[in-house]
Structure 1
Amino acid sequence: MQLSESTWTDVENADTDLALLPVGSTEQHGPHAPLGTDTVIASAVAETADEHYDGDLVVGPTIPVGVAEEHRHFNGTLWVTEETFRRYVRETIESLIHHGFNRVVVVNGHGGNVDALRECCAAISRHNAAYVVPFTWFEAVSGRMGHGGTLETSLISHLQSELIHDDRLQEATENGTDHWGEWQSGTNLAYDSAEFTENGVVGDPSRGDGTLGAELLDEAADALVELIETVSVRGLTQPERW
């Protein structure tokens, strides 16, 4: 059930305590892919998992702006602080809990959101009669994740191919880089992506393929379904201290 497409009476009559909350970002993904890449993918993974799941659940609206200041040098990138992001996500989830959806999986599409989501979900689970856990799609699929690279370009090519500028793929690859960050002694010296990639790309978008994107979507959605099944039987109270 898509929350934004349902009436309040539909939601009142929903026979489930499970909800998905997609979270993305609006940020640069090189000269060839849209700023909304992470949002489009997070939404699609959540919707596909809803279709694959043998049961009822609610899919909330996708949060489109996240922790993305690392891409601030590239025009169009939007961001909020981790504090603002955690608070917004937490209060949105608490709204779901208020209506009885006390098992929530946050479906994340952006690497910059990972740490903040882990902390936010832990705090909610520790202090409420609820269980909330983050799921980041690219941590659950095969292949090396970059930024605007093969995986993300493939998924957008499958989901909304008209948003990929095919005539820019070669240039995007040549002026990008093959690794994230600037590393020394196990420490990433770079805070912003412009420090190590000229055009914002990490990886090889020229290898992006819609067929691969379809496979990645199914792989991510099936992994999410397995997580949903586990969350559906998870205890909602914290264990007693011993």
Structure 2
Amino acid sequence: MHLSEATWTDAASVDTDLAILPVGSTEQHGPHAPLGTDALTAAAVADAGATAFDGEVVVAPTIPVGVAEEHRRFAGTLWVSPDTFRANVRETVQSLAHHGWDRVVVVNGHGGNVDPLREVCATISRTDDAYAVPFTWFDSVDAPDMGHGGPEETSLVQHLDADLVREDRLDEAAEGAADGWGEWVSGVNLAYDSDEFSENGTVGDPREASAERGERLLDDASEALAALLAAVRDRDLS
């Protein structure tokens, strides 16, 4: 059940303590992919995982702004501080738990959210009346070319809504892309912002993307999420 589509009476009748909270980002993904890529993909994986799951689960609305200041030089990027992001996630989970959905999987689509999510889910589970775990979809699948606005993310967006990918800008995106994330010396990334190493914000070659590849990624991520949902549902929290 999607809370954004349900009435309060629908929500009151749900017999489950399990919920999904998608979180993403609104940030640049090169000249070819939409600013909402991370929120769009997180929501899609959440939906597909809920469908694949053998049981009932509540799906909360997506949190669309995350920890993304590293993309601040590119127009349209929005961000909040890690503290604000953690507070938003924590208080949303507390709201879910208030209604009895106190086992929460936070489905994430943005790399900058990973560390804050691990921290806040630990805090929730240790001190609040809820249990929460983070699930970053691209860490659950075989995505060696993940990059940023690269072939993996571009493929998934092409599968979800091909019109959102500007096919006529793929060459431009590839020509201005970095091969990898950051400037590394002695195990240290010298760059803090993405424009320091990528001319147009892209990392990886999005010309290698395809809708078929995106479909496979979504299938694999949804299966992984369904397995995690089952583990969270069955976990002994006593």
- Aligned: 1:79 with 2:68: no
List aligned pairs for 1:31-110, cutoff 5 A: 31-110=31-110
Aligned residue for 2:158? 157
Matches of 2:220 and 2:175 in 1, distance apart? 29
Matches of 2:128 and 2:116 in 1, distance apart? 18
Give the Å deviation of 1:174.
Answer: 1.3
Tell me if structure 2 keeps the 8 A contact 1:175–1:198.
yes
Give the Å deviation of 1:143.
Answer: 2.0
Give the Å deviation of 1:233.
Answer: 1.1
Matches of 2:129 and 2:67 in 1, distance apart? 27
- Aligned: 1:236 with 2:237: yes
- The one-letter code matched in structure 2 to 1:141 is V
Aligned residue for 1:171? 172
- The one-letter code matched in structure 2 to 1:74 is F
Structure 2, unmatched stretches of 5+, are none
Q: Deviations over 1:20-64 (max 9, x none)?
A: 000010000000000000010000000011111111000000000
Task: Describe the SS at the equivalent of 1:170.
Answer: helix
Matches of 1:89 and 1:130 in 2, distance apart? 12
Matches of 2:81 and 2:183 in 1, distance apart? 23
Tell me if structure 1 keeps the 8 A contact 2:109–2:137.
yes
Aligned residue for 2:211? 210
Matches of 2:172 and 2:108 in 1, distance apart? 29
Give the Å deviation of 1:171.
Answer: 1.3
- Aligned: 1:18 with 2:18: yes
Task: Describe the SS at the equivalent of 1:107.
Answer: strand
Task: Describe the SS at the equivalent of 1:203.
Answer: coil
Structure 1, unmatched stretches of 5+, are 238-242
Tell me if structure 2 keeps the 8 A contact 1:28–1:34.
yes
- Aligned: 1:134 with 2:134: yes
Matches of 1:236 and 1:4 in 2, distance apart? 29
Matches of 2:104 and 2:207 in 1, distance apart? 36
Matches of 1:236 and 1:91 in 2, distance apart? 21
Give the Å deviation of 1:234.
Answer: 1.3
Matches of 1:36 and 1:118 in 2, distance apart? 22
Larger mean Cα displacement after TM superposition, 140-149 or 31-40: 140-149
Task: Describe the SS at the equivalent of 1:79.
Answer: coil
Tell me if structure 2 keeps the 8 A contact 1:146–1:179.
yes
Tell me if structure 2 keeps the 8 A contact 1:103–1:231.
yes
- The one-letter code matched in structure 2 to 1:181 is G
List, as ranges, runs of 4+ consecutive aligned residues in structure 1 with deviation greater than 6 Å. none
Question: CA-atom RMSD, angstroms?
Answer: 0.7
Matches of 2:129 and 2:75 in 1, distance apart? 42
TM-score under structure 2 normalisation? 0.98
Aligned residue for 1:240? none
Tell me if structure 2 keeps the 8 A contact 1:131–1:234.
no
Give the Å deviation of 1:81.
Answer: 0.3
- The one-letter code matched in structure 2 to 1:153 is T
Larger mean Cα displacement after TM superposition, 81-90 or 122-131: 122-131
Give the Å deviation of 1:158.
Answer: 0.4
- Aligned: 1:3 with 2:3: yes
Q: Deviations over 1:154-187 (max 9, x none)?
A: 0000001001010110110111011001111111
Task: Describe the SS at the equivalent of 1:155.
Answer: helix
TM-score under structure 1 normalisation? 0.97
- The one-letter code matched in structure 2 to 1:21 is L
